[in-house]
Amino acid sequence: GAVGKSAQIGSHTWSPDAMEGPTPVSALIHAATMVTAGVFMIARCSPLFEYPPTALIVITSAGATTSFLAATTGILQNDLKRVIAYSTCSQLGYMIFACGISNYSVSVFHLMNHAFFKALLFLSAGSVIHAMSDEQDMRKMGGLASSFPFTYAMMP
């Protein structure tokens, strides 16, 4: 349920592969709707996880492991959209980790912030990809500051 929906370790492989679609669709899937549902479900069902102590340990372990492995895998990627997808998996791991330590308000706050900034990041990446004649390989994107100064200034 929640682990598969929020692309946690073991069921995270669908998330980067979903980046083959158009950039606005990727932004919708990865920022606002699909992946956030699992985190919200865990936060919403928080009273159920407070009674059995092993449930929180499993949630914390899954979140921490996903966060570390997704960030490490994202560093090794060359495709711009896949890097952002692995970044999303890593951030979702942080949110699940926060739920695992019973800090649900922090998790939902991070969820809302993530939905906003990741959607903007996907749209900015789409602008760069479009300007580069649909090139997604980051190894071929050197010197973007001189080529696209406005887009460069808007990227974080």
- Give me the pLDDT at residue 119, please: 79
* Residue 95 near residue 21, CB atoms below 8 Å: no
Q: What is the mean pLDDT of residues 111-121?
A: 85
Residue 137, beta-bridge partner list? 79
pLDDT tens digits, 12-59 = 666 665 666 666 666 666 566 677 778 888 888 888 888 887 989 988
Tell me: the pLDDT tens digits for 63-115?
999 899 989 988 998 988 888 888 888 898 899 999 999 999 999 999 989 88
Q: Report the Cα–Cα distance between both ends of the chain, in Å, rounded.
A: 33
Tell me the C-alpha distance between 81 and 92, whole Å. 17
In the predicted model, is pLDDT for residue 118 greater than 60?
A: yes
Q: Where are the domains of the chain?
A: 2-154
Average pLDDT score over residue span 116-130 = 82
pTM: 0.80
Question: CB of 46 within 8 A of CB of 146?
Answer: no
Give me the residues paired with residue 79 across strands.
137
Q: How confident is the model at residue 139 (pLDDT cuts 50, 70, 90)?
A: confident
- Answer yes or no: are the C-beta atoms of 111 and 104 closer than 8 Å: no
Reply yes or no on whether the pLDDT at 7 is more than 80: no
* pLDDT over threshold 90, residue 134: no
Residue range 113-135: mean pLDDT, rounded:
82
